[in-house]
């Protein structure tokens, strides 16, 4: 089964990527990604640009799209990246999430992926 890890943290932590802390964090993420790959659990993953680059789209009751700059809600933690992994069960996925460097300075939301196909939904 595939699981998505949504990594939430205070994006100010990454404001200056040249700092020693940011470089250490990046090295920890590279090592974690390599561990996932070595275990055959890695499917996909990447970091996201800061929330200031985000665009939100909503369709109003009139059917017209409204486009807004920035994140929809103000929060202390922002979605900064994601992983998609393959794991036999939720307990295994949680164990991988606990090893993620982001778990030590933010929140990792673990969700099973619901595979939808045009002809049928796999629930």
DSSP E strand boundaries for the chain: 2-9, 42-47, 55-59, 65-69, 78-86, 106-112
Chain segment 13-26, per-residue pLDDT in tens: 888 878 888 899 99
Shortest CA distance to 58 belongs to which of 78, 72, 73? 72
- Split at pLDDT 50, 70, 90, the class of 85 is very high
Query: Does a structural domain hold residue 120?
Result: no
Domain count, the chain: 1
pLDDT score recorded for residue 69? 80
Instruction: Specify if 123 maps to a domain.
Output: no
pLDDT at 73: 62
Q: Identify whether 119 is part of a domain.
A: no
Q: Is residue 42 part of a domain?
A: yes
Average pLDDT of the chain is: 90
- Would you say residue 25 lies in a domain? yes
pLDDT band at 121 (very low <50, low <70, confident <90, very high): low
Axis-axis angle for helices 20-38, 90-99 (nearest 10) = 150
Average pLDDT for 69-77: 72
* Confidence category of residue 123, pLDDT binned at 50, 70, 90: low
Identify the domain containing residue 61 by its residue range. 2-112
Model pLDDT, residue 71: 63
Confidence of residue 74 (pLDDT cuts 50, 70, 90): low
Instruction: Kindly state the tokens that stand for 32.
Output: 């974690």
CATH code for position 64: 3.30.70.1060
Q: Can you say whether residue 19 is alpha, beta or left, with left for phi > 0 and alpha for psi between -120 and 50 degrees? A: beta
Question: d(Cα 67, Cα 98) in Å, to the nearest integer?
Answer: 36
Cα-Cα-Cα-Cα dihedral sign, residues 25, 26, 29, 34: negative
Structure confidence at residue 112 as a pLDDT band (50, 70, 90): very high
């Amino acid at each position: 089964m595939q699981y998505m890890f949504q990594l939430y943290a205070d994006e100010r932590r990454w404001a200056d990527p040249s700092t020693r802390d940011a470089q250490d964090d990046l090295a920890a993420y590279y090592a974690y990604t390599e561990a996932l790959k070595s275990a055959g659990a890695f499917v996909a993953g990447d970091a996201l640009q800061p929330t200031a680059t985000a665009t939100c789209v909503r369709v109003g009751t009139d059917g017209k799209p409204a486009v807004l700059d920035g994140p929809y809600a103000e929060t202390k933690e922002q979605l900064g990246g994601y992983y998609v992994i393959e794991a036999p069960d939720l307990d295994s996925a949680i164990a991988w999430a606990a090893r993620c460097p982001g778990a030590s300075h933010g929140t990792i939301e673990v969700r099973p992926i619901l595979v939808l196909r045009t002809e049928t939904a796999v629930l």
